[in-house]
Amino acid sequence: MCAAWLLFAGTVSQAAIEAAPPRGEGAGPFQRLILQNVVVINGTGAPAFGPVDLVVEGDRIAALRSPDARQTVSTDSEVRDLSGHYVLPGLIDLHGHIGGDEQGVPAEYVYKLWLAHGITAVRDPGCGNGIDWCVSEQKRSAANQITAPRIYPYVFFGQGREQPMTTPKQAREWVAEMQQRGAVGMKCFGYRPDVLQAAFDELGKRGMGIACHHAQLDVARVNALTTARWGLTTLEHWYGLPEALFDDRQVQAYPADYNYYDEQQRFTEAGRLWAQAAERGTERYEAVIKELLERGVTLDPTFNIYAASRDVMRERQAEWHQRYTLPQLWAFFKPSKISHGSYFFDWGLEQELAWRDNYRRWMAFVDDYKNRGGRVTVGSDSGYIYKVYGFGTIHELEMLREAGFHPLEVIRAATLHGAEALGAQTEIGSIEIGKKADLLVIGENPLANLKLLYATGHPRLREDGEIERVGGVRYTIKDGIVYDAKALLADVEAMVTAAKRERGIEQLPQY
Ligand SMILES: [Zn+2]
């Protein structure tokens, strides 16, 4: 999903949203911060271990020690006894749009929701607010001038060009210019193959990342295998995969009246697409997996963003909407022929059933890819289709689990594998000595129930008959700076309350 994808990406110029205010939250970094008695899930796929004392010095992880080896703590250390808590690497969301003027949400809202869910790094796939805006936010975050995760700007192919690029030379010049302006990668939807291939080549030479959403308008000539051969690094969503898997057709079985701009129709037909691909275990299926593996392509499935397609009522009624969804975002989600992703004009059981079948096949493919050694990452694409920042990322963890991933494989997808896909694995993505202190701390075991990671926690019946909300990230640590995750969530709630008051409403309107 992306603001610009209905139109030619290069011709769209959007107004940027409000940048984040100067940082008013977070404690530290400390000369020495000691998280005592924690259980560590390190992000590499290793099982949990503890209790240990995790020592952070400045912005780096300095030591993991047994509490038995504890010495007298010098007075300049910041010590937190976190008995019963789990510590994970901060989560990495590889498909995190920082809002846009369509959604009308300020960056502060988006960042605080991300951090409240333990997300310490995001890739902005497209830089919909403009490359310069995105790079400015990236730099401010890197310097901890704002309360925000790390940002990795991947700019839309053609952004900033008045006219479509028509020659390989123009594509190469565009890549050079974007790198100079601070982009670390490119996101595309497909394009004229000769021009796009030149861009891939140039990006590869410069060591930049390449993310592709193989949109239907170009997928007949540029599918997942085409771009894999050109040097694709991450495949966004899933489009382009069924097309690479076709063995009895070359083009999706579009009905005669199909019109790509009719979003209900587009998403209805998309729900029938995996059923047209080669079945699991066939020669074609195996050959595609093998080639994607050999070429080192990362799958960034973003399962959660289509969840409403299989159960729209669940997504529309998610328990966090009333308190944490800004009214302007809610309005954007309302079925509409204008808002992208709001395609529920007359969405019924038949569409949902097709999507459930679509998911079954798609999830099997992603799980097979992981089992053969392929890298799969976590991307949310929140800000569309009833998905709210942070909550969508945790739902993605749930859906990877549903696809067959062990909870430790899910956490690895959200941490070390995300870092690897960004080429940032020497700095972030796992709890290892020398790496950045990007961590999340939670008072429950998320491996037992990944839903515990929702900022709103999880309801549990107590012995005394009362229902208690448990879980939710307690601290998010980025660069050694400790954020109170629940306080960030309270800030978001206050923003939502104020926005409702401004509009003279108490509740989000139901329909
Ligand atoms: Zn997107």
Please report, as a single letter, which amino acid is at residue 393: T
pLDDT at 76: 80
pLDDT at 1: 58
243 alpha carbon to ligand 1 midpoint, in Å? 20
CA separation for the pair 29, 59 (Å, rounded): 6
Pure H helices in 181-234? 193-205, 216-219, 224-230
1 alpha carbon to ligand 1 midpoint, in Å? 4
pLDDT (tens digit, 9 = 90+) per residue, 313-323?
A: 999 999 999 99
158 alpha carbon to ligand 1 midpoint, in Å? 16
How long is the chain? 511
- Decide if 197 contacts 168 (C-beta within 8 A): yes
157 alpha carbon to ligand 1 midpoint, in Å? 13
99 alpha carbon to ligand 1 midpoint, in Å? 10
- Decide if 90 contacts 411 (C-beta within 8 A): no
CA separation for the pair 128, 5 (Å, rounded): 10
Place of tokens 């976190």: 82
Give, for all 511 residues of the chain, the pLDDT tens digit.
554 444 444 344 456 889 999 999 999 999 999 999 999 999 999 999 999 999 999 999 999 999 988 877 667 899 999 999 999 999 999 999 998 888 999 999 999 999 999 999 999 999 999 999 999 999 999 999 999 999 999 999 999 999 999 999 999 999 999 999 999 999 999 999 999 999 999 999 999 999 999 999 999 999 999 999 999 999 999 999 999 999 999 999 999 999 999 999 999 999 999 999 999 999 999 999 999 999 999 999 999 999 999 999 999 999 999 999 999 999 999 998 888 888 999 999 999 999 999 999 999 999 999 999 999 999 999 999 999 999 999 999 999 999 999 999 999 999 999 999 999 999 999 999 999 999 999 999 999 999 999 999 999 999 999 999 999 999 999 999 999 999 999 999 999 999 999 999 999 998 8
Listed residue (139, 135, 194, 143) closest to 160, CA to CA: 135
pLDDT (tens digit, 9 = 90+) per residue, 206-225?
A: 999 999 999 999 999 999 99
SS3 152: strand
Token digits for 53? Answer: 């004392």
407 alpha carbon to ligand 1 midpoint, in Å? 25
| Pairing label, strands 49-57, 150-156 | unpaired
134 alpha carbon to ligand 1 midpoint, in Å? 15
237 alpha carbon to ligand 1 midpoint, in Å? 8
C-alpha dihedral, 268 to 395 to 93 to 199, nearest 10°: -10
Question: What is the biggest distance separating any 2 CA atoms in the chain, rounded to whole angstroms?
Answer: 77
466 alpha carbon to ligand 1 midpoint, in Å? 41
SS3 37: strand
DSSP state of 194: H
Provide the residue ranges of all domains of the chain, joining segments of one domain with +: 32-88+438-503, 213-300
- Decide if 369 contacts 377 (C-beta within 8 A): no
CA separation for the pair 76, 290 (Å, rounded): 54
Token digits for 180? Answer: 């100079």
72 alpha carbon to ligand 1 midpoint, in Å? 50
385 alpha carbon to ligand 1 midpoint, in Å? 11
The DSSP element (H or E) to which 118 belongs, if any, is none
Q: Which CATH architecture has domain 32-88+438-503?
A: Roll (2.30)
SS3 358: helix
- Decide if 210 contacts 185 (C-beta within 8 A): yes
CA separation for the pair 446, 452 (Å, rounded): 6
